[in-house]
Amino acid sequence: MTNAVQSLSYLAPSALRDGGLQLQTAGGVAQRAATANPRFFTGFLTTPAAASAGLLAVAEVARTRYFQPLSPASLDPVVTGSRDRLRFESFSGCCGVYARLDVLPAGLDGEIVDHGTTNVDVNTPLRQALQRLVGADPLHVSVGPDDLTVSTMDGAVVEKKVPLPARWLRGFAEVQVIASGFDPRAELSAADATAFLRRLPAANDRAVLWAVPAGRSLRLTSRPAPGAVCLPGPGRLAALKPVLRFAKRLRVYGPALTTASGPVSSTWELDTGELRLSLTLSPQPSRGFSGEGAVLAALAGDDVVDDAELISTLLAWDPTVDVDALAEQAVMPAARVRAALTQLGTAGQVGFDVSEAAYFHRVLPYDAERAERHNPRLVGARTLVETGAVSLDPTGATVRSGEEVYRVRAVDGGLHCTCAWWAKYRGGRGPCKHALATELARVGAVEVAR
């Protein structure tokens, strides 16, 4: 897939100097105004060693391909400054692991200067410096440019081509939809979490296992069961290990399962009290989040576009989004607000925090329309509707695609299709283009009837 390469200018490389972590930013969006090099926070991190380990973990995920490993990529994590915390996010090179470090209010001792989202430069010298941080060494963070680095009237600028894959936008969009369906499934103490993670298979293991609560820990099995959590590619949890010595607990989140469930995503979160480091795993090591199809229904729902535009104007960089408060402000039902937030998530404007079971506001530096353009099933579905290939009837639709004719039927609130995609995935990777086309045609028919 083609990368959406953006040329980002850093005033200087990020560096750790004299106890101060100077994270250089570029190309972000701030609350007060768009700026080339925004600064969101200046102050100390109260647990410097843990914060360094967490930031390194997010950066390490960004440069790792867990499936078909290649040389480390040069992908910069995304940082969001909200009213009381910092969030660092990244995807692995294969887009199968989503990492996030939340620096909570107890982890910050400084001033939130502005609110917004940007890319941060996490380079090799900075990683090496963070690795050397030991004990109670103070760590001062300035998320933004250091004026002392300006050595000429034009500034000492480091030009850097940063590949921002279209898969990242699709991944951010998919993860927030998938994670919003998770519930807490298990909580382990630091000691039990350490023992469990040390028992996991090697990093190159691609098995899909299931973790079943057993006493104070988790027991691994090869089959799903009610109450279990899917653990696809257990070696992908390796990024948690450097933070284990600081953690107080490990929490695990996932959807409800049965004995007939297939592989699904899950979130594994270490909590130190001041920080939370979480890894969300795609359903299989070979599958990146960019292809899951969870957002397709939201993208196809033209009726929520207007709601999304209204809700976007009400988001205020709060650490969590209060759906009921938004519903009251927008004068609309909470269900419509949730649908609008899902739509906004497809453009990277919101994420989902499983720990607080709430959305949070961010604005990624991507073209908001790219999410739809890079979903070929949705593009194909719109083409089918536009060419009159969909014939609706009371029980579903008949869809002609090329030389083939497919039957789409409404079953238990969803749409089933006779195509090969449905036969293979049975809705596990989102609807097929024929089901999407049927839904789009239905929406169009309702609009005409009005």
pLDDT digits (tens, 9 = 90+) for 380-391: 888 898 899 999
- Res. 1 pLDDT band, cuts 50 70 90: very low
Angle at the Cα of 62 (from 17 to 294), degrees rounded to 5?
A: 140
- 194 with 80, same domain: the answer is no
Tokens representing 214?
């057993």
Across the range 414-424, mean pLDDT stands at 86
Highest mean predicted confidence (pLDDT) among 165-169, 365-369, 435-439: 435-439
Determine, yes or no, domain membership for 218.
Answer: yes
Four-point Cα dihedral 9, 14, 18, 19, nearest 10: 130
Whether residue 144 is predicted with pLDDT greater than 80 in this model: the reply is no
Is residue 225 in some structural domain? Answer: yes
Report how many domains make up the chain: 4
Question: What CA–CA distance (Å, rounded) separates 25 from 8?
Answer: 9
Over residues 154-166, the pLDDT tens digits come to 323 333 434 455 6
Predicted local distance difference test score (pLDDT) of residue 32: 56
Let me know whether 38 and 119 are in one domain. yes
CATH, residue 305: 1.10.10
Q: What CATH code is carried by the domain that includes residue 263?
A: 3.10.150
114/55 same-domain check: yes
Same domain, 306 and 273: no
Q: Which domain holds residue 211?
A: 174-290
